[in-house]
Chain A
Amino acid sequence: DIQMTQSPSSLSASVGDRVTITCRASQDISNYLAWYQQKPGKVPKLLIYSASTLQSGVPSRFSGSGSGTDFTLTISSLQPEDVATYYCQKYNGAPPTFGPGTKVDI
């Protein structure tokens, strides 16, 4: 099975900072990569699919890039409401594996 890793596992940044989270697949997954945000006590929310397509309603400060094995999620200007754990998920076939998550704090 393809393994997903994320780095860093946690980060702390200031309001307005540019934040970048990296996700790496153990094999080529093309652009079959989604990103989710899970705020404390809430359910996961889809942010991005197909590596770079923003889900409807998601603020434009979120962006995704990458293909193959290396992907990034960028928050261009961190806001207090972005405190959450962010997960990547590959979906080029079963099993649709999640990364371990990156916790973002202010």
Chain B
Amino acid sequence: EVQVLESGGGLVQPGGSLRLSCGASGFTFSDHAMTWVRQVPGKGLEWVLSISSSGARTYYADSVKGRFTVSRDNSKNTLYLQMNSLRAEDTAVYHCAKTMGNYGLYYFDYWGQGTLVIVSS
């Protein structure tokens, strides 16, 4: 059974940093790109960033470019999201998603429950 499980969310002050993790199981992690999608409670879905299966290629939304960094450790089946210079508008539930496709042509077949990030003073 495919599972992705996020952790690391919490309350952080504006300008602060947070690191999210996503552990994966039930599929060959190193064969798949992975993605972070966020959702403000009660609102729609916003793609944040994706990373290729090897980690060689990354894709970022303009809203987080230069502030967020994605990485992965295929030996640990784990995806990471380093979030710096956080803003109030980054407040959302962050979902990790197993990703289908290649070269940025991505859609998402399994989603984690998400971890809530609140940016507030």
Contacts and interface: CB of A to CB of B under 8 A. Distances in A.
Interface stretch (B8-16, B18-26, B71-79, B97-105): B97-105
A34 B47 contact: no
Contacts of A44: 45, 95, 108, 111
Contacts, number: 58
Interface residues of A, number: 23
B47 A43 contact: no
Contacts of B105: 32, 91-93
Q: Is the interface of B mostly helix, strand, loop or mixed?
A: strand
A55 interface: yes
B45 A87 contact: yes
Nearest to A55: B109
Contact of A43 (B46, B59, B62, B95): B95
